[in-house]
Structure 1
């Protein structure tokens, strides 16, 4: 049985960069860290995609925690809450 290879379609796009960003891209290529500007942009997009995925996962986890807290019922009063309420009232009275 032969090996199946995934073939990715590549499309050229034009991207407008500020002078500062262009300088970073060119510097990364000149330093030898990357072979081309395209490689720099692709890696930046991979990092952006990974960060968005992490942000989405964190948001889901936070929603679960909030739902769990809501489901646990009302909280008991604690002294700190009264102190914060009093400070809020004082600040708004000014």
Structure 2
């Protein structure tokens, strides 16, 4: 895979490598992509938090029932329903 960078971004990558923090440009790009993925996850979590706060202020909350939640999760898994990525265990 080849990636084209602006001269400014290319200078930034070179500076990171020259600083000794990274061995090569690929490491810099991989780290940048990891950080971008982390930022996207934080954005998703913030949106969910805002929704939850709005529901709380709107009086749209209920008491949490772990057994009912587990039963619903099992039912959803058996029917192949897509799981919200925020409730999976493989998130960083």
TM-score range, shorter chain: 0.5 to 0.7
Q: In angstroms, what is the RMSD of aligned CA positions?
A: 1.3
Match among 6, 28, 38 for residue 50 of structure 1 = 38
Equivalents in 2 of 1:53, 1:24: separation in Å?
25
Question: SS of 1:71's equivalent?
Answer: coil
- Partner of 2:10 in structure 1? 22
Q: Identify which of structures 1 and 2 has the higher relative contact order when contacts are C-alpha pairs closer than 8 Å and 6+ apart.
A: 2
Q: State the Cα deviation string for residues 70-89 of structure 1 (Å, max 9, x = none).
A: 236xxxxxxxxxxxxxxxxx
- Partner of 2:77 in structure 1? none
Runs of 5+ unmatched residues, structure 2:
61-92
Please state how far the C-alpha of 1:68 moved relative to its aligned partner.
1.9
Equivalents in 2 of 1:69, 1:23: separation in Å?
48
Question: SS of 2:50's equivalent?
Answer: helix
Equivalents in 2 of 1:61, 1:34: separation in Å?
35
1:65 aligns with 2:48: no
- Partner of 1:7 in structure 2? none
How many positions carry a matched residue from both structures? 60
Please state how far the C-alpha of 1:66 moved relative to its aligned partner.
0.9
